[in-house]
Amino acid sequence: MNKSQKEKINNMFYNQPLDIKENEQIKQNKKKAKEREKRIKKANKNKNKEQEKFDLDTETVIGMTTKNSKRKKQVIQKQIQEQQRKKTKKRKKLLKIIKWTSIIALFIGGIIFTLVSPIFNIQKVTVTGNEIVSSDTIISLSGLGKDQNIFKFINQQIESKIKEEPYIEKAKIKRILPNKVEIQVQERKKAYNIEFMNKYAYIDNQGNILQIAEEKQDLPTIKGIKTAEENIVAGNRLEKEDLEKLETVIQIITIWQTNNAEQKITNIDITNKTEYTLYIEQEAKTIHLGDESNLNNKILWAQAIINDNKGIEGDIYVNGDLNDKFKPRFKQKV
């Protein structure tokens, strides 16, 4: 056996295990390659998923971009709504300004029209409620006249002017559109004469001096007033002391009339408030009442004495305390 033959034989026996090992190695390598391919595929799959979430061009996460986009849309929408709200508010404010400007303009235009239009010029002035003061006098006091605009005067001022007349207690101006004015008045009534300086002043129940005259009215005459002569002027009022006595006078007159007395009281002397004196001209009798106490009983006694002594001149005394044994009496004038 030569050397080459031996090598062949050795190779047949010794190289066979080596081939087996190589086959196993090849199998392992293939297995590893398959596993590697699986890992590569898995990695590529994960990479694709990441690429779906991440925009490589804009370098942003796709999911986050969607959320941010929604937020931006909401913010933009809110901004748009706020702008619209502001615009609406501004528009309403502008419309309101236009509305009130129009109203004011119309109002001013109406005022100007009423003040300059001849339609509203006074054509007639009438007076109601007057018996003593003439209508012409009241109209003259008012200062109102034809062709004067019916809106160019203030009622209170005209009413005050009219009430400067002592007989006028109340006055009211009434416009009758388009061109008439009515003056409504309430007059004071004369209630008493006041004798002073050979003249007579007429007063009402509130002590207002209405008129100074030479003639005496058919009214009770009050004598003995304390008001200074220079203050007895039409339009003035009696002084406080006389006003207090006037209240007693009114009581006396009221009681006298309530008892249906036939006779009228001619004079009442109030010089002394503790000794009021009445004079009945019709019976030629003077009644001494005393003070203001128990007036009702005193007047009843006086009227009874008058009825018992008709036509006899004299004085009646009821000026004592009727509750303390005082006896009213009549003293005939001798």
List the chain domain ranges. 61-116, 123-187, 192-332
**Residue found by looking up tokens 């300059």 in the block:** 116
Give the span between the Cα atoms of 203 and 192, in whole angstroms. Answer: 5
123-187 is a CATH 3.60.15.10 domain: no
Give the span between the Cα atoms of 315 and 262, in whole angstroms. Answer: 18
The half-sphere exposure of 84 on its side-chain side, counting CA atoms within 13 A, is: 6
Query: What pLDDT is attached to residue 48?
Result: 60
- Strand arrangement, sheet containing 221-223: 209-213, 199-203, 192-196, 221-223, 267-269, 276-280, 285-290, 314-317, 329-332
Give the span between the Cα atoms of 220 and 250, in whole angstroms. Answer: 11
**Residue found by looking up tokens 């339009």 in the block:** 235
333: phi then psi, degrees, rounded to nearest 5: -80, 130
Q: Is the pTM of this model over 0.75?
A: no
Query: What pLDDT is attached to residue 14?
Result: 47
329: phi then psi, degrees, rounded to nearest 5: -150, 165
Specify whether the CB–CB gap between 306 and 322 falls below 8 A: no
Query: What pLDDT is attached to residue 83?
Result: 86
CATH of region 192-332, choose from 3.40.50.11690, 3.40.50.1820, 3.90.660.20, 3.30.930.10: 3.40.50.11690
130: phi then psi, degrees, rounded to nearest 5: -100, 135
Give the span between the Cα atoms of 226 and 247, in whole angstroms. Answer: 15
Ranges in the chain, pLDDT < 70: 1-23, 46-67
Give the span between the Cα atoms of 265 and 306, in whole angstroms. Answer: 12
Encoded amino acid at 69, one letter? S
